[in-house]
């Protein structure tokens, strides 16, 4: 398995594009993206569990009921959520996309991201789709990734190559996400494509299983979005025997999918609104997987810990505090904590108590761009990781006037 270039266009038969159609005031920013498979593809998606859901999610869920899709259209700048005519707008986006591509509207995945509760005028989208479709290219992943960005400061795309039954396959993805990141069953907007051949049931199983240890383990600010969605299209053009059960090929596909999703998780967490540091909490020695996940997520969600990481302050007591209120039945007297980065590793807690350490060394370790918070519960063999970022002054500045 190796990383390759191309993002959502790395796999055979996929093209993409992104343009500025007029939703966003800044004409230098793309605000409409399109990803297309040259043939109908097996499709699966997971969605936010927020009771307030964007209209595009409801339309997409209906379209994917048969497990097939051929295109993904997404606008940025407006979430099309809590709008009286939201469903109508999302359906019109599907219809305009289908007309531009010569496919069925039911084979279109629709997504929107941006401000909640603002009416979305579909006119510029419909007007822009012919040019968007005409500009589709095998090198269009970056343009599509730019078109789905809101407060993101970094483009997020990745792809890997792997082998299934002797056939070379690829899987790649793009994502957007910087704020309102605390998913449950899905996260932000993530679009993944692959040329592997896999049945709808097994693709859904792969995605649902993967998000539990990847996207569900990311948190920037504790807010679960109304428009979170992860979608995977698999067009089968790699020519491998179809994956229809949990065999060796399915395990390989899962590893490839996980490589892509973990990479996107790290990109999303590291690009949190106002963030200066990527945080990864790695929990080991847990009695069970649920405990490991809960502890890792609780630590990464602690606002006090996130603020300490912004100040490069080795305030390890905040790690113990977060574990203590996580709701897990851990033995506090067995917990070990260390901080690590490219500058080294430093133990700060053993058996639930503090140990002597150099504040200067700790400061140097926590001043790096990527920080690891290592927690060992010493109660079993299960592990888990969660990703987040520090909490900075700029987070408040960005969200203080996000709408206006």
317-324 vs 303-310: helix crossing angle, rounded to 10 = 160
Angstrom distance (rounded) from CA 113 to CA 108: 17
Q: Could you tell me if 128 and 134 are in contact, meaning their C-beta atoms sit under 8 angstroms apart?
A: no
Q: Where are the domains of the chain?
A: 2-270, 278-400
Angstrom distance (rounded) from CA 18 to CA 113: 14
Same-fold call for 2-270 versus 278-400: no
Beta-bridge partners for 373: 281, 339
pLDDT for 50: 87
Angstrom distance (rounded) from CA 206 to CA 198: 10
Angstrom distance (rounded) from CA 98 to CA 126: 11
Burial of 39 per CB tally in 10 Å (0-12, 13-18, 19+): exposed
Which residue pairs, CB below 8 angstroms and at least 24 apart, start in 331-337? 331/377, 331/378, 331/379, 334/285, 334/377, 334/378, 334/379, 335/375, 335/376, 335/377, 335/378, 336/374, 336/375, 336/376, 336/378, 337/373, 337/374, 337/375, 337/376
| Grouped pLDDT means (10 residues each) for the chain, 404 residues | 97 98 92 98 93 94 97 96 95 98 98 92 98 98 96 94 98 89 72 98 97 91 81 98 98 98 94 92 98 97 96 97 96 98 98 97 98 98 97 89 75
Angstrom distance (rounded) from CA 389 to CA 219: 8
Tokens encoding 345: 């590793």
Stated as kind and residue range, the H or E segment containing 163 is strand 156-164
pLDDT for 206: 98
Known catalytic residues are 187
Q: Could you tell me if 270 and 389 are in contact, meaning their C-beta atoms sit under 8 angstroms apart?
A: yes
C-alpha 40: how far from chain center: 24
Q: Could you tell me if 218 and 187 are in contact, meaning their C-beta atoms sit under 8 angstroms apart?
A: yes
Q: Could you tell me if 235 and 195 are in contact, meaning their C-beta atoms sit under 8 angstroms apart?
A: yes
CATH second-level architecture of 278-400?
A: Roll (3.10)
pLDDT for 186: 58
CA distances from 160 to 133, 200, 260 (A): 26, 21, 7
Supply φ then ψ for residue 143, to 5 degrees.
-60, -40
Task: For the chain, report the end-to-end CA distance as a whole number of angstroms.
Answer: 46
Contacts of 28 (CB under 8 A, 6+ apart): 20
Q: Which fold has domain 2-270?
A: 3.60.70
DSSP track, 356-400: ---HHHHHHHHTSSEEEEEEE--S-SEEEEEEEE---HHHHHHHH
Q: Could you tell me if 14 and 36 are in contact, meaning their C-beta atoms sit under 8 angstroms apart?
A: yes
Beta-bridge partners for 46: 230
303-310 vs 289-301: helix crossing angle, rounded to 10 = 60
């Amino acid at each position: 398995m190796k990383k390759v270039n191309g993002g959502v266009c790395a796999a055979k038969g996929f093209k993409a594009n992104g343009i500025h159609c007029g939703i966003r005031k800044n004409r230098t920013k793309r605000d409409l993206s399109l990803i297309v498979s040259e043939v109908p593809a097996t499709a699966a998606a997971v969605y936010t569990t927020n009771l307030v859901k964007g209209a595009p999610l409801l339309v997409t869920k209906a379209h994917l009921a048969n497990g097939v899709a051929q295109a993904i259209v997404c606008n940025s700048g407006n979430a099309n959520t809590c709008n009286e005519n939201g469903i109508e707008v999302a359906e019109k986006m599907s219809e305009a996309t289908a007309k531009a591509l010569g496919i069925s509207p039911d084979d279109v995945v629709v997504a929107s991201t941006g401000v909640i509760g603002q009416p979305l005028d579909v006119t510029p989208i419909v007007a822009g789709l012919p040019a968007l479709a005409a500009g589709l290219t095998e090198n269009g992943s970056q343009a599509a990734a730019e078109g789905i960005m809101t407060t993101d400061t970094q483009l997020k795309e990745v792809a890997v190559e792997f082998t299934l039954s002797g056939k070379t396959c690829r899987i790649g993805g793009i994502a957007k996400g910087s704020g309102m990141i605390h998913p449950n069953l899905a996260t932000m907007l993530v679009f993944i494509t692959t040329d592997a051949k896999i049945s709808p049931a097994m693709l859904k199983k792969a995605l649902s299983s993967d998000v539990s240890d990847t996207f569900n383990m990311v948190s920037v600010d504790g807010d679960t979005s109304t428009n979170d969605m992860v979608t995977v299209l698999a067009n089968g053009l790699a020519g491998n025997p179809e994956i229809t059960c949990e065999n060796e090929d399915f395990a390989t596909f899962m590893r490839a999918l996980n490589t892509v999703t973990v990479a996107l998780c790290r990109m999303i967490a590291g690009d949190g609104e106002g963030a200066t540091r990527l945080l990864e909490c790695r929990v080991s020695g847990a009695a069970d997987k649920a405990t490991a996940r809960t502890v890792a997520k609780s630590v990464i969600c602690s606002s006090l810990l996130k603020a300490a990481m912004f100040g490069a302050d080795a305030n390890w007591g905040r790690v113990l505090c977060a574990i203590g209120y996580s709701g897990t039945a851990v033995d506090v007297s067995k917990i070990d904590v260390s901080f690590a980065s490219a500058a080294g590793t430093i133990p700060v807690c053993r058996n639930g108590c503090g140990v002597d350490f150099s504040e200067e060394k700790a400061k140097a370790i926590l001043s790096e761009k990527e920080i690891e918070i290592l927690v060992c519960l010493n109660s079993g063999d299960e592990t888990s990781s969660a990703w987040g970022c520090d909490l900075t002054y700029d987070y408040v500045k960005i969200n203080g006037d996000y709408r206006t």
